[in-house]
Every structure is written in structure tokens, then in C-alpha cells.
Structure 1
Amino acid sequence: MSIKKAFFKYCVYYPIILLRREWIYPYLKKLRLSQYYNRASIEADQFKRLADLLAHAKKNVPFYKNRLQSECNSLTELQDVPFLEKDDLRNNAAYLLNAEPKGYIRAKTTGGSTGAAVTIYKNNYAMAEELAATWRGYSWAGIEIGDLQARFWGVPFDKKGRIRARLIDFVTNRIRLSAFSFSENDVARYLKVLNKKKPKYFYGYVSMIKQLAEYIDNNNLSLSFNLAAVITTSEVLSESDRVFFERVFNCKVFNEYGCGEIGTIAHECEHGRMHITAENMIVEIVDHNGHVVPDGVSGEIVVTDLTNYSMPLIRYKMRDFGVIDPSMCICGRGLPILKEVHGREYDILINSKGEKFHGEFFLYMIEDAKKLDMPVKGYQVEQVALGQMVINLVVDDLFFSKIKFFLENKIKNNFDDSIEIVFNKVPHINREASGKLRVIKRSF
């Protein structure tokens, strides 16, 4: 182990999670053992945790008092519980909170890829279990705590958010490369930074990692160091992109699926199978009528978080789609396999200079508006042509003009000062024919 890695692992990361009372090692030790349990043992543990969670939620969480039975006798009885929608988190947050919370409660505001952000609450124990699952998943890619990460991710606009992001990046030993603007000059600069810092692995949006790979490939360049792995997340990883990344970066690609509200849901193992973190959650696949479908059949992903007692998420609809593969993986892990995940994907928007901006660039603007008491219930940004954009907003009449003025200034100052923007106040954001809700899209 290098001196730098040891420093970040033992002198930075460990002390911080101890101070936050999120000591992960008891959970990580259990997860390293339980991943090799057979399916029957995993399901038995799920049932025990589910029964405890449901009993707790019925007793202590107002939202669930009339939604749950007095007791749970099998995993299949979970199917009798009504679904929890993202709108429930936004509109009934106070009723979803534990009346007698334990531990140290943290607030987490998610990215809002479904049209509007949501805030959930977890205590330090649930956060530790979430972190442990993440590190176990990374270990399948050969990554350990303290390894330097190059993170292709968003950067907050406001000063406080940027400072917080820098502190988190320091604690977790990572370099953040902004996904919000990556012209060829930006990518060239990123490559210089990477070749100087020599990270152990890449992590982040497929679209931005692809921009770097294309720049390297088109200019007959290469990394000046050996990359151990690329971990992709938040966007669909196509097989062609996987092959392209592995050729350009000369390392294996590992996909991850999760969400801010729950954390890691599934990680890809060394044999290319996406294993569900079944110790921490139950994943169901349902059809358009809400009925659970057999393994091997595609449907909407529904997740029950077994760790969060502060704000229980029971049968939470992800608005993503996937398939449970009933087969066993040759890696020997008994964890269920999730495949063909699709549903959440941002488009890349382009300004008049040809500079490319990741969709979350606009999400941060929406969040800034909310912080200034300009509530946005839903939104969709569509670039219909180079120099033309349509923004649909689900807002109250009282705030429409103010939000319109705010967003127009933000976009012209940070994206393209010559762009023509049409704002529409709409009752809701329409879904695609596939059922996917695309809030950032380019239609040319």
C-alpha cells in the first residue's frame, strides 16, 4: 500500500466516518460473508429484516399506520403493501418520518432525475450500511478505500455547495472533473490532470467518460498510467460503449445501479453480472398494473430499503425498468442478478460554440431556484435546435414569471448568451412512449 493511500484511508477517511458515527466495518465484514450465502439463506434474512421494518413502520410512522397489516408472515405478503411514489416523499415527508427517531439523522437531497428532487432522512446506522454496500461493490472491481478516484460528476453552482463538494472529495480521495461543460479544450485539460494525478479508477457518467475516450481515440493519445477499472453509473451503459471504453482505457468496465434515496442497489461483479445488494433491500419487478412479474420478465423496478428506520421506503417505485435473472453467477455469489436496467438517461445539450453540457448542469439551476424560495414541482428542458430551447415548468402561477426570469439569466450567463428560450407553464411533464420520463433532452 502506498503512503498516500494509507494516509487517506487511516488518517482521513476512517477518522471522519468515526466522527460521523458511520463506522462501516461491522457491516462490511458481514456483507463480505453474506454475498456467498445461498438464495434461501439470503431470503430468510430478508424476511426477518422485512418483518421488523414493517412492524416498526406501522407503530412509529404515521404514513404507514393504515397501509400495513399487523404482522408479516412471508416475503410474498410484501406485495399487498401499496407502492410508495416519489410524490409521496415530496408531499408527505413529515408523515413518513419516524415519530421516535434513533441515532444521528442525516438529510439527503437526491438529484431529481424524475423531474423534481426529493429529500429523505437516514440515521448514521443506515448510512453506514449504505457505505458498506458501496465499498463491497467497488471491491469487485479491485478498488479499496483510499484508492484515488477520478470522478466525472457535477459541480454545485453556489459557493457553499462547492466548498462542501471539495471537502467530500478530499475525504474520499478523489479528483472531480466537471460534467457540466466539456468542450474539447476542457477534455484536453482533464487528460493532463489525469496523467499527472494518475488515479486508480474512473467513476461517473457514461456520457462524459465517453467524451474523454473519444478525445483520446480520435487524437491517437493514451493514458500515461495503468487504470485499474472504470465504474459507470447514472446513465445507461451500452455494450458498444463498454467495448469502446475497455479498448481505449485498457481496463475492465463495471456498471453500477442505484439512487440517492437508497444508495447502491446493484453492482457488477468481475464476471459482468449485476448483483443486487439483497442484504439491505428487496427488489421487485412489476408490470403496468402493479403486479409482480416472474423472473426473466421485464417491468418497473420497485425497492424496499431494509436499513432505513428514520424514513422507511417500502415498495418505492424507481421509475426505471429491468429484469431479475434467476440464474446463478459463476462468481459464486448467491445475490440475485439484475439485468437490462434502463429508464434514467440525460441527453447532452450543445451551445452555439459547440460546447457540450451534461443534463445535470440544468438540474443544479432548478435546485438553486428552490433554495431561493421559488418552488419547481416538475420540469423538462428540451433543446429543439442549436440556439433554441423549450422549458416546461410545473409551477404555481405566483412563481412562474420569477422562475422564468431566474432560469433565463442563469442559462444565458452559464450556457449560451444567444440562445432563444421558450417557457411553458404546464400541469405535468409528459412521459415518453416507453414510460421513461426524460427531463433533459435534445431533439435534433
Structure 2
Amino acid sequence: MITPLVRHILYPLHERLQGRHTFAYLRELERTQWLEGDRLREHQWDKLRELIAHAARSVPFYRRVFDEVGLNPQYFTLEDFRRIPVMEKETFKENEPEILAEAYPGKLVRLRTGSSTGSPLWFYSSTHTQAFQNAAKLRCRRWWGIEPGDMMFEFWASPIELSKQALVHNAKDRHLMNHYLLSAHNMTEAVMAEYIALMNRKKPRVIVGYPSALHLLAQYLEAGGTRLRFTPKGVVATAEMLLPAQREAIQRAFGAPVINEYGARDGGLLAYECPEGSMHVVAENVFLEVDPDTSPDGDPARGDVLVTNLESFAYPFIRYRVGDQVTLSDKSCSCGRGLPRLERIEGRRTDWLVDSAGRKIHGLVVAHTIAKVQGIRQFQIVQKTPTELHIRIVKNNLYKDSDDAWIIQSLAKYFTGPVHIRLLPVDRIEASQSGKHRFIINEAAC
């Protein structure tokens, strides 16, 4: 479909017919990103007060919680707000009917998380929440010159988006919205060759997908299986941790910047990378905190991220632990936007390993080391016990016999005391039920 037609007519019309005011929110977000820090924080606090007042009025669960902690929803400080207990996934599972807003006037959509941890959460969203999140994504992608209606290829493997019902919508999106949704579930060389041939015909402006799927495509391209005959504006890596080695390979193969997108199906769009390399919190959409009791090194800016989705009026997520660890930053960015920053995104709490002395080792440190080996196509680290580590490896033709010893010696340095490291060559590594690829599985912590 002709891009200007999609951008100016079909896409806005589609959103209006769905009851979503996406482009009105986009205009507002284009303005608020340039507010100075104090003014943006005031704007964010106004939205937080509005959400808390609504939750007290219309949501039985929060009305009870606020009464229990003595929170005045009409006037409260940050210290008062932090008296609200941290909401766990189990909290929402046990109280689902009482968390849904009473007589909510908008259209509701029942969703679930991708269950990469094996424990999916069912929850409600609304057209309002979805429209604001869509607008936030459009705003952030514009930082890279990616406009609404630009042709997009999205590599996804979640059964939620690849159900039979969703495939009908996907066909519509291809023909009317310039949006191609392609399965990343079975990335064989034959399938990748078909995908690249399709991309060469359509020449998408933006490519979106799991870092693991994009990395497989990059490796296939670099191995000389075929080549790209176009250059996209950007490649968006989302839904998984993006490793430095993956970023480098994807950028080389596609000849385009790799853009890190950080969000959660339940928590919403949390942060986005700008061209200056900063991960900016989408502060108009979420209020982020860190649980200081979970800091691995005592740094109060580092620990489990707690998300309050400022647009979740139908089913409010307030001080919700999404399961990831981050480090907040108080530094400004040279891009000039007033949006706060994340210093680091450190992955899920379960992405930590533990040695025989009880010392915690961040799994991504180990993953970064393995990713340096050019002869590895895919890998997965499984900790059986504090002294036993299994590394599943899919090799390519660059793998050398000496790589075995290098991997074992390099990983052993991170552990205090003895550790038995087994390298297990496999033909492929299955994605989780959500379609995501988990680098770390810590069975010793289960």
C-alpha cells in the first residue's frame, strides 16, 4: 500500500473506527517530551493523582487497600504513595474481579501475558490504554525517522498474535496498514530465505522483533545465505534482553541502527532508546520506582522495577512488580528531551545465577561471555545446582574445537568454589511458550 495514503488516511481512519484517539495522543506526546524535568515531573504527578483518585472511586480492591494504609487519595506525598504495598502477579490473580473498574465506560479487551515464566496473568485493557501506548510507540519511533504508515515487518512468535483469529487481522494489516507479521517460531534456513526474499521485494522501512530472532536472521545473512537489497531506517529489538553481541551482528547485517524498546504486555511501554543511546522512560505513560529491598549491591537506584501505568484506568496497575531489574538514572540526555533515563535494564530476577558460596552472579554477565564466541548460533544457560551448569549450544561452521575449553575456563572464573560446566550441543533451542528465547533458566532457584 502507498505509504502516504496509509499515513494520512487509512491509519488515522483505522484508529478512529477502533475507538482509539491515537493521533490526538501522539500530538500531545510530541509536546510533552520537550518539557523541562521539573515541569514533566509535575505533569506526571498530576496524572498519578488522577489515577489514584479514580482507583479510590471506582476500583473496590484499591479502595480497600488505600483505607488499610491510610492513604488520602485527594492529597498524598510520594512517601504516602509508597505506603501502598507492592502488587505482585499473584495479587492480581487472586483479586481480578475487584481490580476491574466499576461501570467502566470504554470498550474492554481481555489479555494475558506471554507466560515466559510459565505463569501467565490474565488482565483487562481498554481502547484508551491501547491508544495511548500506540501513540507512545509512534512518538518514540519518530526519533529515528520512522513515521506512522511506514512499511513494517514484525517477527513474532507469541501464540496470542499468531492465533487463527489474529491471522485474519494480520491479513488486513498487510494490505491496508503496511504491517507484515511473520512467525519467528521456526526460523529454519529455508524459512529465513523466504523471509529475506519477501523483504527484498517489499523493502520495509522498519523491522521489529525479538533480538534472538533478529540475530538468527543476521547470522544467516552474514553467512552468505543471501543478502539484503535495501536498507531499513531502523531495526527495533523488543520483548527480550538485547545483548551487545546481538546488537553488533544485527547492525552489521542490516546496515541500520538497532533500537532498543523496553516494555511489558501488562505494564505497558516503559522505555525507548533515542539516537543518542539513552533509554528514556516513557514518563507520560508510566511512573517507575525501584524496590530498594531488592538491590543486589545496596544501590537505591537499582533493583526490581515497580510500574504504575498512568493510563490503566480500566484495570489499574499500581506499584506492580513486573519481574525485571533496572537501574534508574538522574542524568539528562544530550538529545534535549526532558524524559528521565534508565541507566541499565538487567533482565528478570530469575536471570541470576548463584554459586556454592551463595554469591549471586548476574546471568547476563555470563551470557555476554558466551556470546563472544562467533561459532555459536544460539545458546541457553541452565543452572541445575549451585555447582552444576549446563550450556546448550547450537553451533555453526565457525565453531572451533578450542572454543569448548575457552567457554568452560571463562565461565568458571565467575564462580566462587567448584562448578561443573557441561557443554551440550543441540540442533535447536525451543522458544518458551510466549515465543521468547530465555538465555537463563535457573532451576537451582526454583
Does TM, normalized by the shorter one, top 0.5?
A: yes
Q: Distance in 2 between matches of 1:289 and 1:211?
A: 34
How far off is 1:70 after superposition?
2.1
Partner of 1:419: none
Give the alignment of 1:284-299 within 5 angstroms.
Answer: 284-288=289-293, 297-299=301-303
The question of 1:179 aligning with 2:190 is answered: no
Partner of 1:47: 45
Q: Distance in 1 between matches of 2:47 and 2:165?
A: 38
1:301 alignment partner AA = V
How far off is 1:10 after superposition?
3.6
Partner of 2:137: 134
Partner of 1:368: none
Partner of 2:110: 107
1:67 alignment partner AA = V
Partner of 2:11: 13
Name the Cα RMSD after superposition. 3.1
How far off is 1:430 after superposition?
7.1
How far off is 1:137 after superposition?
1.3
Question: Secondary structure, in 3 states, of the residue corresponding to 1:330?
Answer: coil
Whether contact under 8 Å (1:155, 1:162) holds in the other structure is no
Question: Secondary structure, in 3 states, of the residue corresponding to 1:66?
Answer: helix
Structure 1 residues 274 and 231, CA gap change in structure 2 (3 angstroms): same
- After superposing the two structures, state which structure 1 stretch, 327-336 or 129-138, moved more: 129-138
Whether contact under 8 Å (1:57, 1:309) holds in the other structure is yes
Deviations 1:10-34 (A, max 9, x none): 4432222101110212211111111
Gap regions ≥5 residues in structure 1? 365-379, 384-428, 438-444
1:55 alignment partner AA = A
2:310 alignment partner AA = L
Q: Distance in 1 between matches of 2:270 and 2:224?
A: 37
Structure 1 residues 93 and 163, CA gap change in structure 2 (3 angstroms): same
2:431 alignment partner AA = G
Give the alignment of 1:38-117 within 5 angstroms.
Answer: 38-68=36-66, 69-71=71-73, 72-117=75-120
The one of 431, 434, 437 aligned to 1:359: 431
How far off is 1:114 after superposition?
2.9
The one of 245, 249, 257 aligned to 1:244: 249
Whether contact under 8 Å (1:347, 1:358) holds in the other structure is no
TM-score norm. by structure 1 comes to 0.76
Partner of 1:332: 336
Give the alignment of 1:341-420 within 5 angstroms.
Answer: 341-344=345-348, 356=428, 359-360=431-432, 362-363=433-434
Q: Distance in 1 between matches of 2:281 and 2:171?
A: 30
How far off is 1:316 after superposition?
0.6
How many correspondences in the alignment? 370
How far off is 1:350 after superposition?
8.9
2:337 alignment partner AA = R
Question: Secondary structure, in 3 states, of the residue corresponding to 1:133?
Answer: helix
Q: Distance in 2 between matches of 1:206 and 1:381?
A: 9
How far off is 1:35 after superposition?
0.7
Deviations 1:56-91 (A, max 9, x none): 112211111221212342234321111111122222
TM-score norm. by structure 2 comes to 0.75
The question of 1:144 aligning with 2:157 is answered: no
1:304 alignment partner AA = T
Gap regions ≥5 residues in structure 2? 352-377, 381-391, 395-424
Q: Distance in 2 between matches of 1:340 and 1:263?
A: 18
Question: Secondary structure, in 3 states, of the residue corresponding to 1:175?
Answer: strand
